[in-house]
Chains A and B, each alone.
Chain A
């Protein structure tokens, strides 16, 4: 006595192109075994989690389901994306409530421990097998990492502060429009609900959007570790793609951004093929200070996605300071930026295009920062 098995599309190649085969009756387990004998690898390719339909009736947990004679059996393997997309199966999770406890956990776990902020980089990397930490230290319950405080001298931003929260601070946006616009370019609403400034920086992506903006803002990283606290200028924090100065047991606690002088403002621009949900092909940030005569009194220019890390370009600032920010000065700054960039060819763009682009973006971003510094709307 047999039943008729419909071979799922994904397994047809393995089954020598058969669409349907007759198999001796039994239960689902015996049928899978029979098919595996006839088509070695069938069982493995089908996987553990699948449903079946027997004469049209859907059964979700089918291994022991009897399959009577004359019935028609369909396998319903999980579709791509529905497959085991669990994060690394052995990771433990801790959510300490103060910095000391987090540092102790990280120090003990050594290279096996990772900080979890919003998880929008880390969980993706764990899922795609790029890393498999044994301990995740969720830092979102530590009050110090959630601060957002604009004082008379400095803006204090907790490392775990999400873009979504940062965007909702009108006073911070007024003083640091470029920094906030960089943070709100990250991903989607959903991603911004979680994505933190600290994560954007510590992930070490050369294309991270907030990093050039933090560099022109002259931010300082406050780092806690087993031997105490230390400070690192944001421009020196990333050391290569995916690499930072953080050592074992160290945690970024806070970013401190000095309040800019009067008649000073910032801006950030990036180029992406799509207007949302894309990674920068090139990015540029600028902070401009204007003198009473309207000429450029101070400048900081930084670029992203065109070198192993985001870069401060002092030569571009030199080309601007003292100038009237006319076309010649902007072109000289663009040339300095292009000279400083060391882009790669990749799936997003060829290096030559990135070099051209980062010059164009720098000119635009300087104009925007200057008009903001002059108090012009927009």
Chain B
């Protein structure tokens, strides 16, 4: 099978890759591009560990073919944090920071998917209710936390983002 040459915008950068026509975006991200932040839990759309944002929409990268992203824009968890500061600390996004502060992860396998899902939510709805957060995250399974800490972290991150002055808002 001939490989396909795909050009896409990945985390804000124009990139090229070669893929088999049947390869999922998830596999290309992890195995070809070595961006292993995006996880595979089920491969069938049930767990959300593979969540990425495609042209502004939250999708399961396990159910997206890599070939489909030609000319599109893909955001993965690797693109969420800001650059490392001069002091050497990683510029975590408030969503990531709040997940840490609330101890909203244990093994962390679901976390990249949760971060992307929450980012997609807060990009759309800066002030979600707890109910909205719970429904929005229905497609992100977490075996460890029991979800409660995740929900609290999300509400806290939303509040923080609303209160950040314009110039300190993450890109």
- Interface-facing stretch out of B9-17, B63-71, B92-100: B63-71
Q: In the assembled complex, how far is the CB of residue B54 from the closest CB belonging to chain A, in whole angstroms? A: 7
Taking a contact as CB atoms under 8 Å apart, the answer to whether B24 and A87 are in contact is yes
Given the complex, which residues of A lie within 8 Å of B65, measured CB to CB?
A: 87, 93, 116, 119, 123, 136, 138
A127 touches which of B1, B44, B139, B140 (Cβ 8 Å): B44
A138 touches which of B27, B48, B68 (Cβ 8 Å): B68
Taking a contact as CB atoms under 8 Å apart, the answer to whether B64 and A194 are in contact is yes
A10 within 8 A of B: no
B62 within 8 A of A: yes
Given the complex, which residues of A lie within 8 Å of B143, measured CB to CB?
A: none
A189 touches which of B23, B44, B58 (Cβ 8 Å): B58
With CB as the reference atom, state the residue of chain B lying closest to A90: B1
Contact with B along A127-146 (1 / 0, CB 8 A): 11000000010101000000
B68 touches which of A91, A124, A140 (Cβ 8 Å): A140
The docked-state distance in angstroms from the alpha carbon of A128 to that of B4 is 24
B37 within 8 A of A: no
Q: How large is the interface on A (under 10, 10 to 19, 20 to 34, 35 or more residues)?
A: 35 or more
Given the complex, which residues of A lie within 8 Å of B44, measured CB to CB?
A: 124, 127-128
Given the complex, which residues of B lie within 8 Å of A118, measured CB to CB?
A: 63
Q: Most chain-B CB neighbours within 10 Å: which of A88, A188, A275?
A: A188
B46 within 8 A of A: yes
Main secondary structure of the interface of B (DSSP, over half): mixed
With CB as the reference atom, state the residue of chain B lying closest to A83: B43
Query: Which residues 38-81 of B sit at the A interface, judged by CB distance below 8 A?
Result: 40-46, 48, 51, 54, 57-60, 62-65, 67-68, 70
B21 within 8 A of A: yes
Taking a contact as CB atoms under 8 Å apart, the answer to whether B45 and A120 are in contact is yes
Main secondary structure of the interface of A (DSSP, over half): loop
The docked-state distance in angstroms from the alpha carbon of A140 to that of B63 is 15
Taking a contact as CB atoms under 8 Å apart, the answer to whether B21 and A85 are in contact is no
Query: Which residues 80-131 of A sit at the B interface, judged by CB distance below 8 A?
Result: 81-82, 85-93, 95, 116, 118-120, 123-124, 126-128
* A–B Cβ pairs within 8 angstroms, 12 of them: A91-B21, A93-B4, A93-B21, A119-B63, A123-B65, A127-B44, A138-B68, A190-B58, A191-B60, A193-B54, A194-B59, A276-B135
Taking a contact as CB atoms under 8 Å apart, the answer to whether B136 and A124 are in contact is no
With CB as the reference atom, state the residue of chain A lying closest to B48: A190
Assuming the contacts A86-B27, A120-B45, A123-B63, asked whether A191 and B40 have C-beta atoms less than 8 A apart, the reply is no
Q: How many residues belonging to B are interface residues under a CB distance threshold of 8 Å?
A: 37
With CB as the reference atom, state the residue of chain B lying closest to A191: B45
Taking a contact as CB atoms under 8 Å apart, the answer to whether B45 and A124 are in contact is yes
With CB as the reference atom, state the residue of chain A lying closest to B41: A81
A187 within 8 A of B: yes
Assuming the contacts A119-B63, A188-B139, A189-B117, asked whether A95 and B45 have C-beta atoms less than 8 A apart, the reply is no
B120 within 8 A of A: yes
With CB as the reference atom, state the residue of chain B lying closest to A118: B63
Contact with B along A159-171 (1 / 0, CB 8 A): 0001010000000
B24 touches which of A86, A116, A189, A275 (Cβ 8 Å): A86
Binding site for B on A (CB under 8 A): 81-82, 85-93, 95, 116, 118-120, 123-124, 126-128, 136, 138, 140, 162, 164, 187-191, 193-194, 275-277
Given the complex, which residues of B lie within 8 Å of A140, measured CB to CB?
A: 68
B138 within 8 A of A: yes
Given the complex, which residues of A lie within 8 Å of B120, measured CB to CB?
A: 189
B23 touches which of A86, A126, A276 (Cβ 8 Å): A86
Q: Could you list 7 further interchain pairs (A-B, Cβ under 8 angstroms) beyond the known A189-B120, A194-B57?
A: A85-B24, A91-B21, A118-B63, A190-B117, A190-B139, A191-B63, A194-B60
Given the complex, which residues of B lie within 8 Å of A90, measured CB to CB?
A: 1, 22
A92 touches which of B21, B24, B41, B51 (Cβ 8 Å): B21
Given the complex, which residues of A lie within 8 Å of B59, measured CB to CB?
A: 190, 193-194
Taking a contact as CB atoms under 8 Å apart, the answer to whether A86 and B68 are in contact is no
A85 touches which of B62, B64, B70, B140 (Cβ 8 Å): B62
Taking a contact as CB atoms under 8 Å apart, the answer to whether A120 and B63 are in contact is yes
